[in-house]
């Protein structure tokens, strides 16, 4: 069922998360109350109230988030049965919209350690007043624009989901996917400082099933929706299909596959590729196995190459070939080995074949166009010459009446 819920995260960009109260840890320490307050990108304040049957020497706080090392800090005890800890996000960044879990450890004077229950919250970007559109499994959040924007995003997400599952030959997926829409690239990038790619306009966190995109209000917004949303949805579903083996999927295949799911693709990719080929600046795919370059121009070239190579794979080997390649990496093999298992050639040969078939055809077409143009010029010149000779050569006039055969 589709639901539209406008809501305010919290006035003054502060969020308060109430959690379980009166939880007894091992019968020795009772957590009476605890809470978390934060302002996105600044500080997170953890507060706790407790009762203990035995004297407490110290309290520590452990903070966990998928993909990040566990952080442990010493809790300041502000009085009898109370303590707090301030986590500086500026010093230890956390991903936007990450699921954060945490727990307390009470070290008694006897040396015994008592652990509290585990608590959790979602690190939302509470600088904005988000609105929500729910159509399971999608939850879409935005803070600027009408509900029609969210509906267009939903339609594109449904398309991306359907097409990706068709390619992977997978049954319907009902796991939730959350999409956050920023109204400018700058606002999006301020929330993505932890990934080190502040130039991106879209980002998927497959493990958390979340997508963040920048969709500024502009004439090309519908096209950007059709490009970005299916692309990021494909990343999430690829992750769910491969599971732990997702880490073996080459970056070029991950991005190239997602580009094939787009409803609308960037037309400048073709020009970028042609210029790189002519300048001998194409990036060897061996260098695109682990990650794309951090430089924005090189990254754009990497995206264009990956899109073109996966399209070439589908044309050359068909959909079964692409499926075979993905299934090879599902066995946890290396970047080069996956290509060898699927196609019987190494990655370098696949790269060379792609360049030969893609750019040689383009060069041949160019020669044909040039020769055709030259031939047309020659025909026109010959026609003009014949007409000129016909009009000006007196020998071409009427025969003299005394002229005989």
Q: How far is CA 249 from the centre of its chain?
A: 14
The overall pTM is greater than 0.85: no
Cβ–Cβ contacts within 10 Å for residue 362, how many?
A: 14
- Looking at residue 214, what is its pLDDT? 96
Pick the closest to residue 102 from 89, 92, 87, 113 (CA basis): 87
What is the torsion angle, in degrees rounded to the nearest 10, for the CA atoms of residue 38, residue 44, residue 50 and residue 54? Answer: 180
For domain 11-122, which CATH number applies: 2.60.40.1080, 1.10.1370.30, 1.10.1060.10, 2.60.40.10?
Answer: 2.60.40.10
- Looking at residue 8, what is its pLDDT? 45
- Each residue's pLDDT expressed in tens, for the chain with a length of 405 residues: 565 555 444 333 334 444 443 344 556 899 999 999 999 989 999 999 999 989 999 999 999 998 789 999 999 998 789 999 999 998 998 888 888 999 999 999 999 999 999 999 989 999 999 999 999 999 999 999 999 999 999 999 999 999 999 999 999 999 999 999 999 999 998 887 655 566 678 999 998 899 999 999 999 999 999 999 999 999 999 999 999 999 999 999 999 999 999 999 999 999 999 999 999 999 999 999 999 998 989 999 999 999 999 999 999 999 999 999 999 999 999 999 999 999 999 999 999 999 999 997 654 454 455 566 667 767 776 776 676 667 665 554 443 444 443
**Exposed e or buried b per residue across 281-315, where buried means at least 16 C-beta atoms within 10 angstroms of its C-beta:** ebbebeebbeebeeeeeebbbbbbbbbbbbbbbbe
Pick the closest to residue 243 from 192, 317, 186, 168 (CA basis): 168
Pick the closest to residue 304 from 341, 346, 333, 275 (CA basis): 275
DSSP calls for 108-176: ETTS-EEEPPPEEEE---TTS--EEEEETTEEEEESSS-HHHHHHHHHHHHHHHHHHHHHHT-----S-
Structure tokens that stand for 292 in this block: 């794309």
Q: Which fold has domain 130-248?
A: Glutaredoxin (3.40.30)
Residue with tokens 């190494």, as numbered in its chain:
346
Q: Where are the domains of the chain?
A: 11-122, 130-248, 364-396
Cβ–Cβ contacts within 10 Å for residue 143, how many?
A: 16
Q: How many residues does the chain have?
A: 405
- Looking at residue 201, what is its pLDDT? 87
């Amino acid at each position: 069922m589709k639901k539209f819920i406008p809501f305010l995260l919290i006035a003054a960009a502060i969020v308060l998360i109430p959690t379980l109260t009166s939880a007894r840890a091992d019968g020795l320490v009772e957590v009476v109350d605890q809470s978390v307050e934060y302002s996105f990108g600044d500080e997170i304040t953890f507060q706790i109230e407790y009762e203990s049957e035995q004297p407490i020497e110290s309290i520590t706080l452990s903070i966990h988030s998928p993909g990040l090392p566990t952080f442990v800090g010493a809790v300041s005890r502000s009085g009898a049965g109370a303590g707090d800890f301030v986590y500086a996000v500026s010093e230890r960044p956390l991903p936007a919209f990450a699921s954060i879990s945490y727990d307390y450890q009470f070290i008694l004077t006897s040396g015994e350690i008592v652990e509290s229950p585990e608590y959790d919250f979602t690190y939302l970007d509470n600088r904005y007043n988000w609105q929500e559109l729910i159509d399971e499994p999608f939850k879409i959040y935005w803070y600027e624009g009408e509900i029609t924007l969210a509906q267009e995003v939903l339609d594109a997400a449904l398309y991306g989901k359907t097409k990706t599952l068709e390619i992977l030959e997978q049954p319907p997926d009902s796991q939730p996917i959350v999409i956050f829409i920023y109204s400018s690239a700058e606002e999006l990038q301020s929330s993505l400082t932890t990934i080190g790619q502040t130039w991106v306009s879209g980002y998927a966190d497959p493990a958390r099933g979340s997508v963040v995109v920048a969709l500024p209000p502009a004439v090309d917004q519908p096209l950007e929706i059709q490009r970005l949303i299916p692309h990021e949805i494909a990343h999430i579903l690829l992750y769910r299909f491969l599971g732990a083996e997702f880490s073996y999927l080459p970056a070029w295949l991950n991005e190239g596959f997602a580009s094939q799911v787009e409803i609308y693709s960037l037309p400048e990719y073709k020009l970028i590729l042609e210029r790189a080929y002519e300048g001998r600046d194409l990036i060897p795919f061996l260098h695109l196995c682990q990650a794309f370059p951090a430089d924005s121009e090189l990254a754009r070239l990497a995206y264009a190459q990956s899109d073109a190579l996966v399209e070439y794979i589908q044309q050359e080997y068909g959909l079964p070939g692409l499926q075979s390649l993905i299934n090879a990496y599902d066995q946890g093999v290396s970047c080069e080995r996956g290509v060898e298992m699927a196609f019987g050639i190494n990655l370098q040969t696949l790269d060379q074949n792609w360049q030969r078939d893609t750019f040689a055809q383009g060069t041949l077409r160019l020669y044909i166009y040039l020769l055709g143009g030259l031939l047309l010029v020659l025909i026109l010149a010959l026609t003009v010459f014949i007409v000129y000779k016909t009009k000006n050569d007196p020998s071409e006039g009427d025969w003299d009446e005394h002229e005989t055969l």
